[in-house]
Amino acid sequence: MADLIYYFGTMDSGKSTLALQVDHNHRSRGRRGRVFTSHDRAGEGVVSSRLGLSAAATEVPPDFDFWEHVVHELTHAERIDYIVADEAQFYTTRQIDDLAKIADELDVDVFCFGILTDFRTRLFEGSARLVELADRMLTLQVETLCWCGERATHNARTEDGVMVTEGEVIVVGDVENPDRPTPQVGYEVLCRRHHRQRMTAALAKAAALSPDVLPFD
């Protein structure tokens, strides 16, 4: 019986590294699989790790049909023993449903990797459905740290160094705004307390150099 497994963590927790390792381990034992991704930082059709590892993958746009894709390959004499699905938080509910169906009806193991919540602390669509359907959910063991040294639990988005809590859920490149120059978009991980206070590493450093009191509520 195949499983649908979701490995999740914050940014910088090594999810893409583990996705590549899982693919390598299964391939080295003679199993044949397929690797999928969506909105990877390195561009379309690639799974990349911040450690410098990368591999070719099939890009998953919102209209991609996992069931049709896999059935087509299987009926054309291709062998698929497992699926590695990176950046699964960006998949649609229907796509996660298809991955569960593939595991149940085609006996193909499905390993998903992703982030639970977005920069607004809300569940991504794909992650929410995986929470509901996955046979197992496994927290990535690489612990990420907030600038204060505490365990990081939240992902923060910054524009020109200022933390924001509104905007498009998926922003890989710059954010367009006709009223001002295009801001630089960045991400960092924070503990819950500093995410609530919007206290990024840059703001904390600036505050430490200022004679003013830190802007805590």
What are the residue numbers of the active site? 87
HSE toward the beta carbon, residue 169, CA cutoff 13 A: 14
| Spatial distance between the Cα atoms of 120 and 195, rounded to a whole number of angstroms | 10
| Spatial distance between the Cα atoms of 31 and 144, rounded to a whole number of angstroms | 32
Query: How many CB atoms sit inside 10 A of residue 46's CB?
Result: 17
Q: Residues 48, 87, 96, CA angle at the centre, nearest 5°?
A: 145
Is the CB of residue 69 less than 8 Å from the CB of residue 63? no
Is the CB of residue 95 less than 8 Å from the CB of residue 59? no
In the sheet that holds 82-85, the strands lie side by side as: 58-59, 33-37, 82-85, 109-114, 4-8, 136-139
| Spatial distance between the Cα atoms of 21 and 19, rounded to a whole number of angstroms | 5
Q: Which residue has the tokens 């063991």?
A: 141
